[in-house]
Amino acid sequence: MNKKNYKKYVGIFMLLGLVLILTGCSNLNEPITSQSSGFWDHIVLYNFSRFILWLSSLVGNQYGWGIIFFTIIIRMILLPLNWFQIRSMNKQMKVQPEIQALQKKYSAKDQETQQKLREETQKLYSEAGVNPVAGCLPLLIQLPVMFALYQAIYKTAELRNGSFLWMQLGKPDPYYIMAVLAALFTFLSTYMSSYSQPTQNSTTKIMAYVMPIFIFIPALTFPSAITLYWVISNFFQVIQTLVFQNPFKYRREQREKEEREKERQRQIRKAKKRAHKK
């Protein structure tokens, strides 16, 4: 890993560590009020709680709808960042053939060759305007939001004791429907993102099936409000991928492009044969 990427990853882990420390300092048994102290409770959790309650008041104090609206607003705020991520991914897909050529050129496993491969890969990414870390940014922002939502629910009596459809928001879904939907939409969003890549390595394929499991298992015991957030967030991600990337259209265009290239090569070979006969 080069120095630049190393610093980025260190920054990401430091930010996540700070969030974990702040959430750990919050007492779940202490209700949120305007008098709550500390940055996390007074600034983050209190405002999250008030905002969700306000959104709920617009639809007759339906707290589930308040969480749904809250989730959509968060995803809309993240749209510019997601667009930046998608552009970076598209650029990365375009240079994939060149990356594969570099991997063949520097296929030896010794340290010097692998270092050269990393340097050439980073140079290629830099020239193409690719940021390999861009895919982490939306997730990096959503994790603190999820932590804050989790604690805001427990520390706000209206949300903790509120109900929506068949669920009590502060308790797990008794029928596991939200857990199944959260896993399903996670799979669809992950699969569609990987489907748009021209070449899928084993890690990419595995992640498409592992990520839903990572969501499904905790969703069985998490409050319904959290799984509701996951369902809406990942459903939004599926729609966003279809609109901005449309992996199925991309794959079709790639196949058509390959067919045109094959036809062009066939025509060249035929022309060479005719020229040779003459």
pTM (2 decimals)? Answer: 0.69
The amino acid at 171: K
Q: Can you tell me the distance from the alpha carbon of 18 to that of 12, in angstroms, rounded to the nearest whole number?
A: 10
Q: Can you tell me the distance from the alpha carbon of 151 to that of 159, in angstroms, rounded to the nearest whole number?
A: 11
pLDDT in tens, 146-160: 788 778 887 888 888
Residues 86/134, Cβ–Cβ less than 8 Å: no
Q: Are strands 167-168 and 163-164 parallel, antiparallel or unpaired?
A: antiparallel
pLDDT at 7: 46
Give residue limits of the domains in the chain. 3-95+130-245
pLDDT at 159: 83
The amino acid at 61: N
Which among 167, 179, 190, 170 is positioned nearest to 238, based on CA atoms?
190
According to DSSP, the residues that pair with 164 across neighbouring strands are 167
pLDDT at 113: 78
Coil, strand or helix at 164: strand
Q: Can you tell me the distance from the alpha carbon of 90 to that of 97, in angstroms, rounded to the nearest whole number?
A: 13
Query: Any idea of the CA torsion for 222, 227, 228, 231, to the nearest 10 degrees?
Result: 180
Low-confidence ranges of the chain (pLDDT < 70): 1-29, 90, 93, 130-140, 194-205, 246-251, 253-254, 258, 276-278
pLDDT at 69: 92
